Amino acid sequence: MNKRCVYGLLGCAAWLAGCGAPPEKSGDQSRPGAAGSGIEMAAVPAGSFAMGSANQDEPDQKLHQVQVSAFFIDKYPVTQEVYEKWMGKNPSLWRGARNPVEQIRWREAAAFCNARSRAEGLRLAYDTNTWACDFDADGYRLPTEAEYEYALRAGSASADDWFGNSPEELKRHAWFKGNSPRGTHPVGEKPPNNWGLCDMVGNVWEWCNDWYQQDYYQHSPVRDPRGPATGQNRVVRGGCWNSKPDCCRAAYRYYEMPAYTDTCFAKDLHGQIGFRCVKKQTP
Ligand SMILES: [Ca+2]
């Protein structure tokens, strides 16, 4: 990854970008009828895809073939109303019930996954002492970096995003710096991708489960890569409301310290990292 998309103020990693989905009149991510806790999810089929970029200027994005097992993923980033309902607080800077929750640490996102699993009687994915992820558990967890890119691309062979790479299409499909100069937007305002997922590009960066390692793609397994065993930073993906177009590419890798809430010193550049959950599909 490179940090050229970052606005480094006072050494703080600044963030960027935006995207959206189908108008949801009821607007309630937790409405009855959705699976489990009422949060709408989509079924992502097993498959393989070309992960990364052919661009030689991106040394951490080496193009390689990856196989991904089937999983479920939230249709939207976790909203503020849902996070507050489950966790009893809302740390977000850009307030709005349907806006993505932001300004939460990686561990807080993992804790939300556990709370959701507990409420549904599922086996917790995260050990609350080590925060290691149990991929065999049927409970909720954060997506792997490979799952995120696979779900974002949604079967498209486009080198960039599922909607192609034109600036106009990016404006139509995502909230990013080009159309969202200040803050997040309610989830689902931009069109979904082919698998029904909204805001995968833009609006908020989204925490992934993986530790970030620049050369990980050089030696990662073909099947269900889960990131290096340890690291200092966790991967974030998809770009945010303050991102330049390059950071909104499906292959673009970014990262942050897991203890960081994204509240850096740069005023108006806060509130850029959110998350969504996945869970395994049991045969
Ligand atoms: Ca996003």
**pLDDT tens for residues 179-188?**
998 999 999 9
Residue 18 lies inside a defined structural domain of this protein = no
Residue 166 lies inside a defined structural domain of this protein = yes
Residue 188: which domain range? 31-283
Classified as helix, coil or strand, 229 is coil
Å from CA of 182 to ligand 1 middle:
15
**What confidence score (pLDDT) does residue 7 get?**
36
**CATH number of the domain where residue 113 is located:** 3.90.1580.10
Residue 232 lies inside a defined structural domain of this protein = yes
Residue 273 lies inside a defined structural domain of this protein = yes
Residue 269 pLDDT level (bands cut at 50, 70, 90): low
State how far the Cα of 161 lies from the Cα of 203, in Å rounded to an integer. Answer: 15
Residue 4 lies inside a defined structural domain of this protein = no
Residue 16 lies inside a defined structural domain of this protein = no
State how far the Cα of 61 lies from the Cα of 75, in Å rounded to an integer. Answer: 25
What's the structural domain count of the chain? 1
Query: Do 19 and 203 touch, CB atoms closer than 8 A?
Result: yes
Å from CA of 183 to ligand 1 middle:
13
Å from CA of 222 to ligand 1 middle:
25
In percent, the amount of the chain with pLDDT more than 90 equals 76
Å from CA of 188 to ligand 1 middle:
11
Q: What are the φ and ψ backbone dihedral angles of 201, each rounded to 5 degrees?
A: -105, 130
